[in-house]
């Protein structure tokens, strides 16, 4: 959101302030104040104006300005009612040289999973991508996927949903409805990046979290199946704030990941691009490798698809 517009909101949030006072405080013309107020009204903010001045009455339920207002993280938010894919849009920003942008959409028409799989993204879900340029070697970038998984899990848990992490990038909710393995997929993460030999140039972390149940594929679940209500604006703010803290504190990621992991201690089958192995998942190591105890000893897997096997 434009800097002055944000200042207008901050100024009128707590008590009414007159147009001239606001103009003086922000060092802009009264006409400029009026223009910002009109733009905010158009974005859905209810702004009362009477003898006492301008006063913020309500914030829109969702949208770019709504998410940015009160967001305690240095991220610009761009919102769309509908997009093919927030990752694709964030990659456009990357190509323009931008950074620290979060792209949020109400619906995706061409949502993507890993390995060219699709991601079903009906209206009303939480579909977002964060573009950043971390000071990391490309080999360490997976720690950001883990950070996103931790941030999403903790935010879902705060909202009352018992989310757990499946290596490397799924959020699951344990269910007792006869679903396969007693768990359903709540969210997924798709990380894309470009880098040089020693440094990441940009990374886009796409996070998809189901909210309602309509239109979801089999085996999926949404937040509203486990919580009475979800304030998407608040949810996205907390998610972005938590991710922002963790991206600056990689040391904190693994302990938090272990705390929320469903995979550790389970018998798993992991499919990599070249191999398949079965064993007990015993730990996660920086920057995101799963340690699997197999009949041939411990094996570290850097990337792959993991299946939780029922205990023999
Ligand atoms: C993922 O891939 O789990 C990563 C999903 C990332 C989605 C976000 S949304 C915002 C951003 N913009 C994008 O275009 N993408 C990111 P993967 O582990 O490959 O899982 C994909 C598989 O999950 C599919 O093949 C389906 O089986 C299943 N699936 C598809 N849509 C789903 C949904 N909404 N909920 C649960 N499972 C789903």
Tell me: pLDDT of 88 over 60.
yes
Nearest to 105 by CA among 69, 74, 134, 80: 80
* DSSP assigned state of 299: E
Cα 181 to Cα 263: distance, rounded to the nearest angstrom: 12
Model confidence at 176, in pLDDT bands (50, 70, 90)? Answer: confident
Tens-digit pLDDT profile for residues 259-301:
999 999 999 999 999 999 999 999 999 999 999 999 999 999 9
Distances (CA, A) of 227 to 126, 151, 175, 278, 280: 15, 18, 14, 35, 32
Cβ of residue 86 lying under 6 Å from some atom of ligand 1: yes
User: Which residue, by CA, sits nearest to atom 35 of ligand 1?
Assistant: 220
The whole-chain average pLDDT of the chain stands at: 95
Model confidence at 195, in pLDDT bands (50, 70, 90)? Answer: very high
Tell me: pLDDT of 311 over 80.
no
Cβ of residue 102 lying under 6 Å from some atom of ligand 1: no
Q: Are 90 and 206 in contact (CB under 8 A)?
A: yes
Q: Are 185 and 171 in contact (CB under 8 A)?
A: yes
Q: Which residue has the tokens 């992490």?
A: 165
Determine the distance separating the centroid of ligand 1 and the alpha carbon of 309, expressed in angstroms. 21
Q: What DSSP assignment string belongs to 214-262? A: TTPPTTB--GGGTSS---HHHHHHHHHHHHHHHHT-GGGHHHHHHHHBS
Cα 86 to Cα 129: distance, rounded to the nearest angstrom: 6
Cβ of residue 206 lying under 6 Å from some atom of ligand 1: yes
pLDDT of res. 14: 87
Model confidence at 3, in pLDDT bands (50, 70, 90)? Answer: confident
CA of 110, closest atom in ligand 1:
14
Which of helix, strand or coil describes residue 85? coil
**Stretch (H or E) spanning 32:** helix 30-42
In the chain, % of residues over pLDDT 70: 98
Cβ of residue 239 lying under 6 Å from some atom of ligand 1: no
Determine the distance separating the centroid of ligand 1 and the alpha carbon of 127, expressed in angstroms. 10
Paired tokens of 249: 């504190």
Determine the distance separating the centroid of ligand 1 and the alpha carbon of 299, expressed in angstroms. 27
Q: Are 226 and 162 in contact (CB under 8 A)?
A: yes
Paired tokens of 179: 């679903």
Q: How many CA atoms lie within 13 Å of 131's alpha carbon, on the beta-carbon side? A: 25
Determine the distance separating the centroid of ligand 1 and the alpha carbon of 86, expressed in angstroms. 12
Of 105, 185, 188, 204, the one to substitute when testing ligand 1's pocket (max ligand atoms within 8 A of C-beta) is 188
Cβ of residue 212 lying under 6 Å from some atom of ligand 1: no
Cα 133 to Cα 237: distance, rounded to the nearest angstrom: 20
Of 106, 113, 165, the one to substitute when testing ligand 1's pocket (max ligand atoms within 8 A of C-beta) is 113
CA 112-115-119 angle, 5° bins? 25
Paired tokens of 160: 């009352």
Tell me: pLDDT of 312 over 60.
no
pLDDT of res. 180: 66
Of 104, 124, 189, 208, the one to substitute when testing ligand 1's pocket (max ligand atoms within 8 A of C-beta) is 208
Tens-digit pLDDT profile for residues 28-65:
999 999 999 999 999 999 999 999 999 999 999 999 99
Model confidence at 181, in pLDDT bands (50, 70, 90)? Answer: confident
Cα 152 to Cα 242: distance, rounded to the nearest angstrom: 8
User: Which residue, by CA, sits nearest to atom 37 of ligand 1?
Assistant: 220
The pTM score is 0.95
For each of the domains in the chain, give its residue range(s) and CATH number, in order of start.
Answer: 3-58 (1.10.10.10), 64-260 (3.30.930.10), 267-308 (2.30.30.100)
Cβ of residue 87 lying under 6 Å from some atom of ligand 1: yes
Cβ of residue 188 lying under 6 Å from some atom of ligand 1: yes
Tell me: pLDDT of 310 over 90.
no
User: Which residue, by CA, sits nearest to atom 34 of ligand 1?
Assistant: 120
């Amino acid at each position: 959101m434009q800097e002055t517009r944000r200042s207008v909101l901050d100024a009128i949030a707590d008590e009414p302030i007159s147009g001239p006072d606001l103009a003086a405080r922000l060092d802009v013309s009264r006409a400029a104040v009026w223009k910002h107020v009109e733009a905010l009204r158009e974005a859905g903010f209810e702004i009362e104006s009477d003898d006492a001045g301008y006063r913020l009455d309500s914030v829109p339920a969702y949208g770019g300005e709504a998410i940015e207002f009160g967001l305690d993280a240095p991220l610009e938010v761009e919102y769309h009612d509908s997009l093919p894919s927030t990752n694709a849009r964030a990659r456009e920003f990357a190509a323009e040289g931008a950074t620290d942008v979060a792209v949020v959409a109400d619906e995706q028409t061409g949502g993507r999973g890993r390995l060219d799989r699709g991601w079903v993204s009906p209206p009303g879900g939480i579909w977002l991508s964060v573009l950043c340029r971390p000071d990391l070697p490309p080999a360490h970038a997976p720690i950001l996927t883990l950070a996103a998984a931790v941030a999403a899990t903790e935010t879902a848990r705060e909202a009352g949903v018992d989310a757990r992490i499946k290596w490397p990038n799924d959020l699951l909710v344990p269910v007792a409805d006869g679903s396969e393995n007693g768990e359903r997929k709540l969210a997924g993460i798709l990380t894309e990046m470009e880098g040089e030999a020693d440094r990441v140039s940009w990374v886009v972390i796409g996070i998809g979290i189901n909210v309602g149940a309509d239109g979801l594929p089999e085996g999926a679940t949404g937040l509203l199946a486990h919580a009475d209500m979800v304030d998407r604006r608040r949810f996205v703010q907390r998610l972005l704030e938590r991710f922002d803290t963790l991206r600056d504190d990689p040391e904190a990621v693994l302990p938090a990941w272990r705390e929320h992991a469903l995979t550790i201690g389970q018998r798993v089958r992991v499919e990599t691009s070249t191999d398949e192995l079965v064993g007990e998942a015993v730990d996660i190591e920086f920057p995101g490798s799963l340690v699997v105890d197999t009949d041939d000893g411990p094996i570290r897997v850097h990337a792959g698809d993991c299946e939780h096997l029922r205990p023999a």
